[in-house]
Amino acid sequence: MIDIKLIRENRDLVKENIKKKFQNQKLPLVDEIYELDVTYRETKQQMDEARALKNRLSDQIGTLMREGKKEEAMTVKEQVSEMGKEIDQLTAKEDELGKTIKEKMMMIPNIIADDVPIGEDDSKNVEEKRFGEPVVPPYEIPYHSDIMESFSGLDKEAAARVSGNGFYYLVGDIARLHSAVLAYARDFMIDKGFTYCIPPYMIRSDAVDGVMSFEEKNNMMYKIEGEDLYLIGTSEHSMIAKFKDQILKESDLPITMTSYSPCFRKEVGAHGIEERGVYRIHQFEKQEMVVLCKPEDSESWYDKMWNYSVELFRTLDIPVRKLVCCSGDLADLKYRSCDIEAWSPRQQKYFEVCSCSNLTDAQARRLAIRYKKENGDKEFVHTLNNTVIAPPRMLIALLENNYQEDGSILIPKVLRPYMGGKEKIEKK
């Protein structure tokens, strides 16, 4: 959520930002909010004046009674009573206006960075840099689900009977490799100075509304029937909401955390659920990194975080590239974002495995997360998040880039301690 001062003082800037995000249907909201805010402030001023007058009249009652002017005192008392009713009406109007303004403000996208590429959708994202040399072996690499099934490591048929499409069973060495990747990613981030955390897997609606737009909420989140609870789509949701309504100490910033959780997503929209593989599914596990910091530090943390992703994948000998997200591909709360994509030797192209975002103070405003500066002033923190590892999608890159001609899978050296010392996975 942006600062309402931007709408008060620079509506053209807010409208231009909406146009850059190709959300022209939201343009009327800017003027609507402006007019509502004018009425809100007028109402607040009227209420303040009414309260001041009521206090003055209340003081007069005692004076008149002491002077024996009982009849005049009773007349003033009636005025005070009427003023009380007026104040109640103004208070109700102020509350209703404030609620309406907040709801509409939460639909206005965050101001994006000046250097974000302008484009309508992800086809306009821009490759910035590659890391590692993409290799295409001289032998055929099977589809990732076929590789998993060759080790009896994937059972989507049974999962479909139990849960429906978009779910899976991982078994044996494939399941162990999945866990090894998560454990390695956890320790990798701990070595970077991040605090390990396991968060709640369900959060209330006010927390959901604090971390994402209404559109994302409707397309992603699973609602628990009969309760004010949602299954998280990523641990970022509960990790950021952990600090809801808090005033942090400046000396405690930055707060750097790496969190593990299962993730649940409806995946509503054009992408849909993949019938055969495990690239886009309803349930997966993920290691996340989250940072809360001072505003002046958020851009440097953004660079550190996506670089951590690159470093991690390169320790696994997986070539990656950084793809800068264009304006139309940015979720409403994002100031800037980039994807780290891994090389697929089977498809001979890159695919997304990490997403790093700087949301500036958009989430902090929604959740009222501030910090107290040394001079006593309070300011909203900036929040950032990035995927560390998200298997089983990440397993696709790992399996393809380590697939051998005989059908075995080489295990990268950094993962071997988590696999009982195994150097490769072989068919039984």
| pLDDT(261) > 70 | yes
Listed in sequence order, the residues at least 6 apart from 197 whose beta carbon sits closer than 8 Å to its beta carbon are 235, 239, 257, 258, 259, 260
Q: What does 22-59 look like in DSSP terms, one character per residue?
A: T-GGGHHHHHHHHHHHHHHHHHHHHHHHHHHHHHHHHH
Q: What is the pLDDT, as a whole number, of residue 413?
A: 97
Report the first-to-last Cα separation within the chain, whole angstroms.
Answer: 55
Whole-angstrom CA distances from 13 to 3, 32, 337, 418 are: 12, 16, 20, 52
Segments of the chain assigned to CATH 1.10.287.40? 4-105
CATH fold label, 4-105: Helix Hairpins (1.10.287)
Q: What is the pLDDT, as a whole number, of residue 166?
A: 87
For 398, the 3-state DSSP assignment is helix
The per-residue pLDDT for range 30-46, each reduced to its tens digit, is: 999 999 999 999 999 99
| pLDDT(55) > 90 | no
Give the C-alpha separation, 355 to 286, whole Å. 12
Give the C-alpha separation, 138 to 140, whole Å. 7
| pLDDT(337) > 80 | yes
Q: Which is it for the CA torsion 306, 307, 310, 313, positive or negative? A: negative
Q: What is the pLDDT, as a whole number, of residue 269?
A: 53
Pick the more confident residue, 184 or 47.
184
Between 3-7, 8-12, 88-92, the lowest mean confidence (pLDDT) is in 88-92
Q: pTM here?
A: 0.89
Residue 57 banded pLDDT, cuts 50, 70, 90: confident
Segments of the chain assigned to CATH 3.30.930.10? 122-425
The per-residue pLDDT for range 198-248, each reduced to its tens digit, is: 999 999 999 999 998 888 888 889 999 999 999 999 999 999 999 999 999
Q: What is the mean predicted confidence (pLDDT) over 331-351?
A: 96
Q: Is 162 exposed, middle or buried (0-12, 13-18, 19+ CB in 10 A)?
A: exposed
- What tokens appear for 266 in the block? 């409806």
For 419, the 3-state DSSP assignment is helix
Q: What is the mean predicted confidence (pLDDT) over 408-421?
A: 97
The bridge status of strand 195-197 relative to strand 255-264 is: parallel
Between 69-83, 268-282, 370-384, the lowest mean confidence (pLDDT) is in 268-282
> What region, left, alpha or beta, does residue 34 occupy, with left being phi > 0 and alpha being psi -120 to 50 degrees?
alpha
236 φ, ψ (degrees, to nearest 5): -50, -35
| pLDDT(76) > 80 | no
Q: What is the pLDDT, as a whole number, of residue 381?
A: 98
Residue 73 banded pLDDT, cuts 50, 70, 90: confident
The per-residue pLDDT for range 105-155, each reduced to its tens digit, is: 999 999 999 999 999 999 999 999 999 999 999 999 999 999 999 999 999
Q: What does 381-392 look like in DSSP terms, one character per residue?
A: -EEEEEEEE-TT
CATH architecture of 122-425: 2-Layer Sandwich (3.30)
Which H or E element spans position 219?
helix 214-220
Q: What is the pLDDT, as a whole number, of residue 285?
A: 95
Q: What is the pLDDT, as a whole number, of residue 326?
A: 98
| pLDDT(355) > 60 | yes
Give the C-alpha separation, 219 to 270, whole Å. 11
Residue 268 banded pLDDT, cuts 50, 70, 90: low
- What tokens appear for 109 in the block? 């996208």
Pick the more confident residue, 89 or 428.
89
The bridge status of strand 230-231 relative to strand 222-223 is: antiparallel
- Asked if 289 and 89 touch (Cβ cutoff 8 Å), the reply is no
Q: What does 343-388 look like in DSSP terms, one character per residue?
A: EETTTTEEEEEEEEEE-TTHHHHHHT-EEE-TTS-EEE-EEEEEEE
| pLDDT(428) > 80 | no
